[in-house]
Structure 1
Amino acid sequence: MASPEPTNACPCGQTNARQQALAYAACCGRYVDHFETAPAPDAPSLMRSRYSAFVRERADYLQATWHPRTRPAQLDFDPGARWLGLTVRSQRSTGEDTAEVEFVARYRVGGRAVRLHETSRFVREDGRWFYVDGDQQ
């Protein structure tokens, strides 16, 4: 899938104080497109950037930000999926280098609406946050 224009609204739906959509380059794009030099600073930012990576089918970023202990060997994307939005319900620190983020991601596939509600766990190692696993609601 082609990369979004840097000025397009970020897929994660993040807005500024005036409720204007943030541009991809100023939001998740800075992490997805520059993982080696600009890691996500916290678990909620990593979670949002991973959602954007799913929307953009960026398996490289998803694999790089998945903890090696739980990372799948490969990722498959449903070519018919149309991502509709992300809502972060809550976020909390569970330790100095651990956190949880509860979110709902909505998408449509084959004309059917799907709602993914998960509480994800994250860990920070060597200054980088990684997705570990999650519990679907």
Structure 2
Amino acid sequence: MLHYPPLKPCPCGSGRSFSACCGPNLSGERTAETPEALMRSRYTAFVLRDAPYLLATWHPRTRPATLDLEGTRWLGLTVHRASDDRVEFSARFEENGQKTQLRENSRFVHAEGAWLYLDGEQWEG
């Protein structure tokens, strides 16, 4: 995992500092209280290449065995809608010198005492 300064704005785009936003989730100090909070912390984990956090917050039924987080530079996140168990967002990234956007409607479930990412319908735009 990459180090991130605690007082710098959180990569998830909330406008709060990392230590007041996603930092405590990634450190294990607390769990995400809503699907949107989990999605934001997972985006931050992608930015910081924190595979253990991503795998731990992924539902066992759909979780991959491993993740390769190298080669992608995450550029920004926009949350379009959030409901009881879904979050629709766009994430901008650069891969192999090409900038693109991923849009996903993610599903979350509350299991094992915490919110977990289940799956999502995604498309690039």
Interval containing the TM-score (normalised by the shorter chain)? over 0.9
Runs of 4+ that moved beyond 2 A: none
In 2: Cα distance, 1:53 partner to 1:66 partner: 12
In 2: Cα distance, 1:11 partner to 1:125 partner: 26
In the alignment, structure 1 residue 32 sits paired with structure 2 residue 18: no
In 2: Cα distance, 1:112 partner to 1:60 partner: 27
Partner of residue 43, structure 2? 51
Larger radius of gyration: 1
Partner of residue 42, structure 1? 34
Q: SS where residue 19 of structure 2 aligns?
A: helix
Residue ranges of structure 1 left out of the alignment (5+ in a row)? 16-21, 94-98
In the alignment, structure 1 residue 87 sits paired with structure 2 residue 78: yes
Contact 2:39-2:87 within 8 A present in 1 as well: yes
Partner of residue 109, structure 1? 95
In the alignment, structure 1 residue 4 sits paired with structure 2 residue 15: no
Partner amino acid for 1:112? Q
In 1: Cα distance, 2:119 partner to 2:2 partner: 28
Tell me how far 1:128 sits from its aligned partner: 0.3
Q: CA RMSD in A?
A: 1.1
Tell me how far 1:3 sits from its aligned partner: 1.3
Tell me how far 1:9 sits from its aligned partner: 1.2
In 1: Cα distance, 2:66 partner to 2:48 partner: 16
What per-residue deviation string (whole Å, max 9, x for no partner) do you get for residues 41-68 of structure 1? 0100000000000000000100000000
Question: How many equivalent pairs are there?
Answer: 123
What per-residue deviation string (whole Å, max 9, x for no partner) do you get for residues 54-99 of structure 1? 00000010000000010000000133x2211000000112xxxxx0
Tell me how far 1:126 sits from its aligned partner: 3.7
Q: Percent identity?
A: 49
Partner of residue 19, structure 1? none
Q: TM-score, normalised by structure 2?
A: 0.93
Tell me how far 1:109 sits from its aligned partner: 1.5
Q: 1:132 aligns with which of 114, 118, 125?
A: 118
In 2: Cα distance, 1:78 partner to 1:115 partner: 17
